């Protein structure tokens, strides 16, 4: 079963054949090499990064859903403002698959923390997914989108409007999330003198909002509220 928000993004792919290929990969995001299968942590639980952004339980899903919303808004701009042509199926498929092998590069330690799996010593998530997309005979245009999603830092730069949109949406969402997480951690450390380890996006956005609305007192109150909520959730 796919997460409902991932499922609704998937349903936006109108080409049935492409939708099925994307769904098959999302439902079984595994990679085989030399007779060994790698499946990593589950998509639902996985973070989308270990430190820079979405570095918490469920971060992968949040990142894909948020990057998907940004990418679709950019498709609207291309069509409605710039009168350009964009293939939304390719954009949605690109967003859904661009990081789908990140969970293969993570493992969960005994303490419950995420760290790099051995596979990540050999290949990064982008090389892994490009290899798998080629093996599964995905359209070349989609393989390009995924190969180019890291922009200037990737194997190839975006050369189509769809690839550029996916790269920019990925980058924008990573920064939106990562910068707010960093700012919230900094505010709590400086104002409360504590470390709120593994902050969720909801907590981080709350802290940053409270600082803007009520200053340092707002941060202290938000910190207290978050600690109480965490205690209440513990079994
Ligand atoms: Fe990536
Ligand atoms: Fe990403």
153 vs 25, more confident: 25
Residues 15-59: pLDDT tens digits? 999 999 999 999 999 999 999 999 888 899 888 888 888 888 899
Asked if CATH classification 1.10.3210 holds for the domain at 4-174, the reply, yes or no, is yes
- Give the range among 93-97, 152-156, 167-171 with minimum mean pLDDT: 152-156
Which of the four pLDDT bands, split at 50, 70 and 90, describes residue 111?
A: confident
In terms of DSSP bridges, do strands 36-38 and 31-33 run parallel, antiparallel, or are they unpaired? antiparallel
Q: How far is the CA of 22 from the centre of ligand 1 (A)?
A: 17
Ligand 2 centre distance from Cα of residue 230 (Å): 28
CA of 227 to the centre of ligand 1 (A): 32
Tokens 């007779």 -> residue: 35
pLDDT grade for 2, boundaries at 50, 70 and 90: very high
Report d(CA 56, CA 94) in Å as an integer: 23
* Mean pLDDT along residues 192-213: 94
pTM: 0.94
Q: How far apart are CA 223 and CA 207, in angstroms?
A: 7
CA of 146 to the centre of ligand 2 (A): 10
Q: How far does the centroid of ligand 1 lie from the alpha carbon of residue 130, in Å?
A: 11
Average pLDDT over residues 159-173: 98
In this predicted structure, the answer to whether residue 197 has a pLDDT above a threshold of 90 is: no
User: What does 6-57 look like in DSSP terms, one character per residue?
Assistant: HHHHHTT---HHHHHHHHHHHHS--EEETTEEE--S-TTT--S-SSSS--ST
Query: Please, which residues have CB less than 5 A from ligand 1, an ion?
Result: 99
pLDDT at residue number 6: 97
How far does the centroid of ligand 2 lie from the alpha carbon of residue 93, in Å? 13
Mean pLDDT of the residues in the chain: 95
Query: Is pLDDT at 235 greater than 80 in this prediction?
Result: no
Name which of 219, 216, 198, 215 is nearest 207 in CA terms: 219
Query: CA 117 → CA 35, 63, 101, 109, 123, distances in Å?
Result: 18, 21, 12, 10, 11
pLDDT score recorded for residue 208: 98
Q: Can you give the pLDDT at residue 113? A: 84
Give the number of the ligand closest to the Cα of residue 150. Answer: 1
Looking at residues 193-221, what average pLDDT do you find?
Answer: 95
pLDDT digits (tens, 9 = 90+) for 64-80: 999 999 999 999 999 99
Quick one: which ligand is closest to 62's CA?
A: 2
Containing H/E element for 114? Answer: strand 114-116
Query: 98: CA distance to ligand 1 center in Å?
Result: 6
pLDDT of 136 over the 80 cut: yes
């Amino acid at each position: 079963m796919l997460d409902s928000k991932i499922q609704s993004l998937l349903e936006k792919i109108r080409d049935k054949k492409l939708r099925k290929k994307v769904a098959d990969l999302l439902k079984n995001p595994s990679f085989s090499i030399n007779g060994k299968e790698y499946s990593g942590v589950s998509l639902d639980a996985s973070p989308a990064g270990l430190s820079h952004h979405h570095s918490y339980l469920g971060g992968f899903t949040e990142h894909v859903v948020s990057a998907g919303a940004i990418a679709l808004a950019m498709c609207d701009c291309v069509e409605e403002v710039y009168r350009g042509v964009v293939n939304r199926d390719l954009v949605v498929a690109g967003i859904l698959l661009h990081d789908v092998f990140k969970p293969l590069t993570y493992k969960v330690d005994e303490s419950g923390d995420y760290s790099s799996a051995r596979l990540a010593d050999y290949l990064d998530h982008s090389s892994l997914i490009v290899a798998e997309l080629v093996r599964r005979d995905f359209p070349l245009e989609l393989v390009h989108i995924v190969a180019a999603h890291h922009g200037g830092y990737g194997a190839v730069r975006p050369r189509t409007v769809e690839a550029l949109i996916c790269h920019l949406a990925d980058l924008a969402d990573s920064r939106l999330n990562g910068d707010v997480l960093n700012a919230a951690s900094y505010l709590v450390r400086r104002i409360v003198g504590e470390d709120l380890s593994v902050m969720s996006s909801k907590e981080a956005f709350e802290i940053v909002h409270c600082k803007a609305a009520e200053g340092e007192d707002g941060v202290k109150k938000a910190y207290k509220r978050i600690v109480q909520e965490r205690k209440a959730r513990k079994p």
